[in-house]
Amino acid sequence: MPAVATITLTIPSPIMAVGRSDPIVAVIRDSAGHTITGLTVAWSSSDATVVSVDSTGKVTALAPGSANVMAHAGSTDALLTIDVAPASTPFLHRPFEGTYALVNPVDHDLPLGFADDNGVQVESNGEHLRFEQGHEGYDWGLPQGTPVLAADEGVVNFAGTETPFACPLLNGRVVAAMIVNVVHQAPTGELFATEYVHLSRIDVAVGDTVKTGQQVGLSGTTGCSTGPHLHFQVARQLFTRDGSKAGVIADPYGWTGQQDDPWLLSQHGAVSSYLWLPGEAPEGLLSLGAFGPEHPSGNVMNAQSTPVDIERFKPSLYLPKARK
């Protein structure tokens, strides 16, 4: 049996939700790069209260935190870091009163705004759609001037006009949306941020503590928008490889697809959990032309909202935290 030179470990996602189990695949090679089979791999975890691993390399996420899974074969070791995100508890309320058409969902493929150009859009149930690729949130067809409400109590982290940029959907016209960003502390203690985009008026200021259901502004069509609507998106705080914490886009409707969530598998991705309290989730069918006469051509592809700026979430970690 040749000597072991390297062990390569792979897992579907290095970020796991509490309760999830995944197999680690170990590929063992000799110094010439040839695969070695038939060797027994010994597995261990640096913190078995966070991540457990059995004799086959199957990993189970047990508690929020970070742990290293080690593999040993021959005289060689390998290490894989697993981050476990807290299990989310529903806490969000509807950000508006009434029922309006849903005109654009989150893209679970790569919700990276205009940076996503691979032509794939995946809904939360795993269905492939022909809507807006790269979309970071949900667009609801609120008419101009409709009250927009805080989805939970929290602290206003941003309230104002974003940095102007050239909007591809408006032939490169330079625009800037009016935005409110609110940071919330979920029942688990984890921080989330909700963002309300394309407003026509802002009714709060940075540092304000807002109550659930408080009006934060009025819907509109400012920024990279072709008709009045509300773009609503959620970011969650996650452990990152450099030890810092940052806001990463998450789908408040969770993931119900049969296959693994492609956003979870991405190096940029996050665990998406259902975050709506009972009876609070906005309901609506994807609808072409929901913006009415103010929306040219009635094509949802024109409903692109502003690219997310997840950097806005980081300073919120140092603001006073809203308590339940």
> Residue 23: what pLDDT?
92
DSSP type of residue 109:
S
Q: How confident is the model at residue 246 (pLDDT cuts 50, 70, 90)?
A: low
Whether 323 has a pLDDT exceeding 60, the answer reads: no
Q: Note the pLDDT tens digit of each residue in 273-320.
A: 899 999 999 986 655 444 332 332 222 223 333 333 333 333 333 333
Cβ atoms of 217 and 182 within 8 Å: the answer is: no
Higher pLDDT, 219 or 125: 219
Q: Is the pTM of this model over 0.75?
A: no
Q: Note the pLDDT tens digit of each residue in 34-49.
A: 999 989 999 999 999 9
- State the Cα torsion 202-319-266-284 to the nearest 10°: -40
Distance CA 195, CA 188 (A): 20
Q: What is the mean pLDDT of the chain?
A: 81
Q: Which amino acid is located at 19 in the chain? A: G
> Residue 215: what pLDDT?
98
Domain ranges of the chain: 6-85, 102-318
CATH number of 6-85: 2.60.40.1080
Cβ atoms of 74 and 29 within 8 Å: the answer is: no
> Residue 109: what pLDDT?
83
Architecture of domain 102-318: Distorted Sandwich (2.70)
